[in-house]
A = this chain, B = another copy of it.
């Protein structure tokens, strides 16, 4: 039995195939490539229940991941993040089965770690020595830290406005860090030029095929955590969209393996900020691709992506699962972030909070019914976003003063 059943790479647009044992970036047609596996062999040789007692890491699904030699795995103990039921908030929202998949409980405090662990491991296996990527912060932090462990030089370009902590994560891990006085799209152009001129490995979102493979493990985990069943709705904060593409890919693979029931998929929901909603605009018009969203802005920095390379794959996953796309205001997401902390004790990131606000709104609109199992993806720890919490009206005491009265704000 093989450690990995990876078989080839394939273009979802023109169907051209590529071998997986050499470095590949985009298809010659310009589309991202997807990773293929010999699923028939996995189906014949592996039982899903064998997975259940494996170590608590996304690498428990190694047969369905692209790394062929276990020695190439670069891990910090990522994956199998908690899936927790929100009883109190669910009762406020009239949702009896509201869940959070909490991706803040992972190395680097962000779900970007999944893509980094699988992407860097495969890059190491393919002999990559240098890579470059643009980032809104968290992905760059994760790729820099995992690159450090793998001994790969990582050039990371991020907007000046990206969360300050992510800059420090790149710096302390010895990443080759540049700031840009602009958006992630500007950082992308700078990386593109470097890749073209110097021939370094392009680790930009979807320009290497393996980040999706890391992200898809969120889909495997949700299904395994529900006892190999699918919930009715999964809400995902959508910037570049790799997570929703990955979860959709995971669900299709699990169906083909017969590990979940045929013909029953969760409705996937792409959640965006009102200040950056290209997928929502496209979905409303029933279009297959999105248009560049001008002057985008949101406190949920991770989903400030005005035009995603994989937009067509995101939209396909929505149409195919009878899902939808929804835009959330800044007030709504900050309110949801506070509600979650006050009722459920999780300090979540603003992107994750957008999915909570979306669940509330879709329930109010009747798009989600009371009994449906609803999974909100919190993509990062709130502790990486101190700027989302303004502390006001707190009293400072001198050493010998006393607290006048117990009163809750």
Contacts and interface: CB of A to CB of B under 8 A. Distances in A.
A74 B400 CA distance: 34
A137 to B, nearest CB: 11
A145 B76 contact: no
A171 B399 CA distance: 21
A349 B68 CA distance: 34
B102 A77 contact: yes
Interface in A96-152: 102, 104-109, 130, 145-150
Contacts of A228: none
Contacts of A56: 56, 80
A37 to B, nearest CB: 26
A186 to B, nearest CB: 4
B145 A181 contact: no
A406 B153 contact: yes
Interface string A167-178: 111011110111
Listed residue (A53, A173, A180, A345) with the most chain B CB atoms within 10 angstroms of its CB: A345
A221 to B, nearest CB: 11
Contacts of A399: 180-182, 186, 189-190
A149 B109 contact: no
Interface stretch (A237-245, A366-374, A384-392): A384-392
Interface string A311-327: 00000000000000000
Interface stretch (A5-13, A193-201, A302-310, A355-363): A193-201
Contact of A406 (B83, B155, B338, B398): B155
9 contacts: A77-B81, A82-B107, A105-B107, A130-B406, A178-B397, A179-B396, A180-B398, A182-B398, A190-B402
Given A168-B386, A176-B409, A194-B403, 15 more contacts: A56-B80, A76-B344, A108-B347, A169-B383, A171-B391, A172-B347, A174-B408, A176-B407, A177-B391, A177-B394, A178-B395, A179-B395, A180-B396, A182-B399, A193-B403
Which 7 residue pairs of A and B lie closest in terms of their CB atoms, listed nearest first? A77-B82, A149-B345, A186-B399, A168-B389, A182-B399, A145-B345, A172-B341
Interface of A: 52-53, 56-57, 74-77, 80-84, 88, 102, 104-109, 130, 145-150, 153, 155, 157, 160, 164-165, 167-169, 171-174, 176-182, 186, 189-190, 193-194, 197-198, 200, 337-338, 341-347, 381-384, 386, 389, 391, 394-403, 406-409
